[in-house]
């Protein structure tokens, strides 16, 4: 959530921000509503103070004076009731805009309208070349019996799968490789829950923004949500806390299941395992002081690059433009790996700096050197989107015989095997 004081003091700055993000928000209407609500709340505070003074005064009055004051008190109650009713009618429209106001942009974010304008800042090697016609991953593992989407659809629904045989070991090798890399850089490993309360989803912005794409479980009972990403429970781990010492960033890494309805994708990418209702990721979240967040963001992106360079898979690094940023992010980088089967680069990692946007919604603060509380900055990144990493490995490491070489960095986690 944005600092509302900044919006009130600099409405033109927020309007410019909204325009650069290619969003449609009537900020003037919102600020008019904000002013009206502020005035109502001020009147309610004044009424409360008057009622309190009357409560203290009435016992000291004569009967005649008491009746007069009680009549005045009744009028105050009626006025208070009317103001609260007005407030109830205004708040839904007010909060629906407030909770969607975007973060301010970093000055180095590229200003363009949509994802077709994302800026390629660097590339790692050139696309893999073969002396044979490379196959798409689904052709290779259909031959190897590594995946069963038919049974996935039969037992669950479309966009579910069973992974089998060697590719299961390959996936866990990738997980162990990534976790060991980040643990060596002082990231604390975690296994977080994937069912969370509404506040955790709201605090990380997934509600109400992505409500239509979110699985909700037992709304009439415990009412929990399956997470889009474990960024949700891990960022929420320090919710409503004051961190006493944030001189060094707090860094977490984990592996988890993720769940999305992908309703907007229709039948897109069905032949490739790119968009599924249940998938796995290795991710990281960091908490730091404001003055450390830009440096930490660069370090997190560098870790992602180190991991993909270790896998020896061609990729390009994108500076995500303003029109393609999610509302919480002020700055974001993606890595896109080369997929020979599609003859294109596809997103495999992301890393966002969201400043105070989530910490304000979750109440995550720290105590500075003067003893004052400040909102922590939060950063999050997908280190490995596992299904996409499997595609990249299978397609880039395939052989003419239809086998798959195992990247060297994964072999220690595969009992020294070199080929699948």
User: Phi, psi (5° rounding) for residue 372?
Assistant: -85, 150
pLDDT band at residue 263 using 50, 70 and 90 as cut-offs: low
Q: What is the pLDDT of residues 190-235, one digit of tens each?
A: 999 999 999 999 999 998 888 889 999 999 898 999 999 999 999 9
Please give the average per-residue pLDDT across 88-110, as a whole number: 93
Q: Is the pLDDT of residue 180 over 50?
A: yes
According to DSSP, the β-strands at 331-339 and 344-353 are antiparallel
Specify the domain boundaries for CATH 1.10.287.40 within the chain. Answer: 26-98
Q: Is the pLDDT of residue 97 over 50?
A: yes
pLDDT band at residue 271 using 50, 70 and 90 as cut-offs: low
**Burial classification of residue 312, based on how many CB atoms lie within 10 Å of its CB (0-12 exposed, 13-18 middle, 19 or more buried):** middle
Please give the average per-residue pLDDT across 165-178, as a whole number: 94
Taking the C-alpha atoms of residue 69 and residue 60, their distance in angstroms, rounded to an integer, is 11
Q: What is the pLDDT of residues 105-125, one digit of tens each?
A: 999 999 999 999 999 999 998
Q: Is the pLDDT of residue 19 over 70?
A: yes
Specify the fold of 26-98. Helix Hairpins (1.10.287)
The CATH class, in words, for 115-414 is alpha beta
Specify the domain boundaries for CATH 3.30.930.10 within the chain. Answer: 115-414
pLDDT band at residue 268 using 50, 70 and 90 as cut-offs: low
Whole-model pTM over 0.75: yes
Q: What is the pLDDT of residue 267?
A: 46
Q: Is the pLDDT of residue 313 over 80?
A: yes
User: Phi, psi (5° rounding) for residue 272?
Assistant: -100, 145
Q: What is the pLDDT of residue 170?
A: 95
Please give the average per-residue pLDDT across 132-142, as a whole number: 88
Q: What is the pLDDT of residues 329-373, one digit of tens each?
A: 999 999 999 999 888 999 999 999 999 999 999 999 999 999 999
Cβ-proximal residues to 71 (8 Å cutoff; 6+ apart), any chain: none
**Collapsed DSSP state (helix, strand, coil) of residue 383:** strand
Q: What is the pLDDT of residues 235-247, one digit of tens each?
A: 999 999 999 999 9
Q: Is the pLDDT of residue 54 over 90?
A: no
Please give the average per-residue pLDDT across 17-33, as a whole number: 94
Q: What is the pLDDT of residue 270?
A: 47
- Residue 377 · residue 251 · CB < 8 Å: no
Tokens at 264, concatenated: 């907007």
Taking the C-alpha atoms of residue 274 and residue 346, their distance in angstroms, rounded to an integer, is 9
């Amino acid at each position: 959530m944005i600092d509302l004081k900044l919006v009130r003091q600099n409405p033109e700055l927020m309007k410019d921000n909204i325009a650069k993000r290619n969003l449609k928000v009537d900020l003037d209407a919102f600020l008019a509503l904000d002013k009206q609500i502020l005035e109502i709340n001020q009147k309610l505070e004044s009424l409360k103070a008057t009622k309190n003074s009357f409560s203290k005064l009435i016992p000291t009055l004569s009967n005649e004076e008491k009746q007069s004051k009680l009549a005045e008190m009744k009028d105050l109650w009626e006025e208070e009731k009317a103001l609260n009713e007005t407030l109830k009618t205004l708040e839904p429209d007010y909060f629906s805009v407030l909770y969607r106001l975007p973060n301010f942009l970093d000055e180095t974010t590229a200003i363009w309208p949509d994802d077709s304008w994302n800026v390629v800042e660097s590339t790692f090697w050139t696309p893999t070349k073969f002396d044979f016609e490379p196959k798409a991953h689904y052709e290779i593992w259909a031959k190897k019996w590594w995946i069963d989407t038919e049974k996935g659809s039969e037992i669950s629904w479309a966009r579910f799968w069973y992974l089998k045989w060697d590719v299961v070991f390959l996936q866990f090798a990738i997980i162990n490789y990534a976790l060991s890399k980040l643990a060596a850089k002082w990231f604390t490993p975690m296994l977080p829950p994937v069912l969370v309360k509404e506040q955790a989803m709201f605090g990380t912005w997934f509600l109400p923004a992505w409500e239509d794409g979110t699985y909700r479980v037992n709304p009439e009972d415990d009412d929990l949500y399956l997470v889009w990403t474990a960024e949700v429970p891990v960022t929420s781990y320090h919710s409503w806390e004051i961190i006493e010492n944030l001189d060094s960033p707090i860094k977490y890494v984990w592996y988890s299941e993720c769940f999305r309805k992908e309703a907007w994708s229709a039948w897109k990418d069905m032949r490739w395992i790119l968009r599924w209702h249940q998938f796995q990721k290795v991710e990281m979240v960091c908490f730091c002081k404001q003055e450390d967040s830009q440096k930490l963001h660069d370090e997190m992106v560098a870790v992602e690059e180190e991991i993909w360079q270790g896998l020896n898979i061609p990729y390009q690094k994108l500076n995500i433009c303003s029109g393609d940023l999610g509302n919480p992010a002020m700055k974001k980088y993606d890595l896109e790996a080369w997929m020979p089967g599609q003859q294109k680069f596809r997103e495999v990692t992301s890393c966002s700096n969201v400043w105070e946007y989530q910490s304000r919604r979750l109440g995550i603060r720290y105590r500075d050197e003067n003893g004052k509380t400040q909102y922590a900055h939060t950063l999050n990144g997908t280190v490995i989107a596992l299904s996409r990493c499997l595609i990249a490995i299978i397609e880039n490491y395939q052989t003419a015989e239809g086998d798959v070489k195992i990247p060297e960095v994964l072999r220690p986690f595969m009992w020294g095997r070199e080929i699948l």
